[in-house]
Amino acid sequence: MARKIVITSGKGGVGKTTVTANLGMTLSLMGARVVLVDVDFGLNNLDVVMNVENKIVYDISDVLEGRCRVKQALVQAQDHKNLYILPSDGMKTVSAVTGQNLKAITENLSPLFDYMLLDCPAGVDAGFHRAVSCADEAILISTPSFSSLRDADKVVSMLKSYQLEKVSLVANRVRGDLVAVEKTLSPKDMESLLKIPLIGVLPDEDDVMLYGTGFSPNCRIGRAFRILARNVEENTRRIYDATARYSGFFGSIKRGLRRSV
Ligand SMILES: Nc1ncnc2c1ncn2[C@@H]1O[C@H](COP(=O)(O)OP(=O)(O)O)[C@@H](O)[C@H]1O
Ligand SMILES: [Mg+2]
């Protein structure tokens, strides 16, 4: 049976879809069978981030309305034989979906995969509850900004009303240069504020957008995702040090360079 993990946040635009796509890809490269489900029906874009929008024949609403079986709606990710996407089609899907029929779909897919990552809508409205009620675990994404943390705190409270096995934090878009000089909250500060275990630190890197073309395995964001994926898989809490390259004499030069771009 798949581990069903909802990727959630309070605020929009903090990296849920990015984490769903890249964590899914990394887990599949480690040998797991992974399905990514786009349950952000209003602003669905997982298919675009995964570069499969031209391969879509059916979506979740076709499954819900009986036009196809769930397996027929799965789209295989480019170059990854163990990675599939169940796409949605914006408002067309919203009108067809209820919490119960979405749960039936996830239960149906569960025996075929090791991981199911649910890309959740932002906020704490019906879409959030629908997504969380299908999951066993939650990963909460927040950036170090106060607005993101404040919204994340509300989500932590909401998640308490569900019987989830695990709720963990991923600090995204961490600027190591600013953390090194204490100009922004560190991932550890974020963990203390939200009071949920930190399992991932992802640096702010433009490389993250290269997903479709594949980023080089040794780039910083690739390494950070591998540490996160191992933590998810092994239930550990190793942390990527985003400040390492900004410490010491050469680090201060890199900090200066980063500020000037
Ligand atoms: N670690 C990161 N470094 C740089 N840009 C990022 C990072 N994570 C996300 N982004 C960018 O932030 C924007 C919003 O990300 P997205 O995953 O769509 O957020 P959400 O799904 O939460 O709305 C995208 O342009 C994405 O490329
Ligand atoms: Mg998104």
Segment 212-225 mean pLDDT:
75
Segment 104-121 mean pLDDT:
96
As for ligand 1, residues whose beta carbon falls within 6 Å of it are 9, 12-18, 172-173, 202, 204-205, 208-209
- The single residue listed with the structure tokens 């509300």 is 154
* Closest approach atom of ligand 1 to CA 12: 23
Quote the ligand 2 centre to 119 CA distance (angstroms).
7
Cβ atoms of residues 222 and 216 within 8 Å: yes
In angstroms, the CA 151 to CA 64 distance is 31
The pair of three-digit structure tokens given for residue 185, joined into one six-digit string? 């909250």
Q: Report whether pLDDT(217) > 70.
A: no
- Residues 228-237: tens digit of each pLDDT: 999 999 999 9
Ligand nearest to the backbone CA of 171:
1
Kindly report the backbone phi and psi dihedral angles of residue 5, in degrees, each rounded to the nearest multiple of 5, phi listed first: -120, 120
Amino acid occupying residue 65: E
Ligand nearest to the backbone CA of 13:
1
- Number of domains making up the chain: 1
* pLDDT for res 154: 97
Segment 179-200 mean pLDDT:
96
Report if pTM > 0.75: yes
Q: Report whether pLDDT(197) > 80.
A: yes
Cβ atoms of residues 99 and 54 within 8 Å: no
* pLDDT for res 206: 86
Distances (CA, A) of 161 to 11, 90, 153, 164: 20, 28, 14, 9
* pLDDT for res 32: 98
Segment 2-18 mean pLDDT:
96
Quote the ligand 2 centre to 8 CA distance (angstroms).
9
* Average pLDDT over the chain, rounded to an integer: 91
* pLDDT for res 261: 60
Share of residues in the chain with pLDDT > 90 (%):
74
Angle subtended at Cα 150 by Cα 170 and Cα 190, rounded to the nearest 5 degrees: 40
* Closest approach atom of ligand 1 to CA 11: 22
Quote the ligand 1 centre to 36 CA distance (angstroms).
17
Quote the ligand 2 centre to 13 CA distance (angstroms).
7
In angstroms, the CA 252 to CA 188 distance is 22
* pLDDT for res 97: 81
Quote the ligand 1 centre to 204 CA distance (angstroms).
9
* pLDDT for res 89: 83
Confidence label for 260 from pLDDT (cuts 50, 70 and 90): low
Cβ atoms of residues 120 and 39 within 8 Å: yes
Amino acid occupying residue 191: E
Ligand nearest to the backbone CA of 42:
2
Q: Domain of 103?
A: 3-260
* Residues 6+ positions from 35 with CB-CB distance below 8 Å: 2, 74, 83, 84, 85, 86, 109, 112, 113, 115, 116, 117
- Residues 14-43: tens digit of each pLDDT: 999 999 999 999 999 999 999 999 999 888
* Closest approach atom of ligand 1 to CA 9: 22
**Residue 148 belongs to a domain with what CATH number?**
3.40.50.300
Residue nearest to atom 17 of ligand 1 (CA): 15
* pLDDT for res 259: 65
Quote the ligand 2 centre to 253 CA distance (angstroms).
35
- Residues 52-107: tens digit of each pLDDT: 999 999 999 899 888 999 999 999 998 888 999 999 987 666 666 888 899 999 99
Cite the DSSP H helix spans in the chain: 16-29, 46-49, 60-64, 70-73, 90-96, 99-109, 126-132, 146-159, 176-180, 187-194, 220-234, 248-260
The pair of three-digit structure tokens given for residue 254, joined into one six-digit string? 């890199």
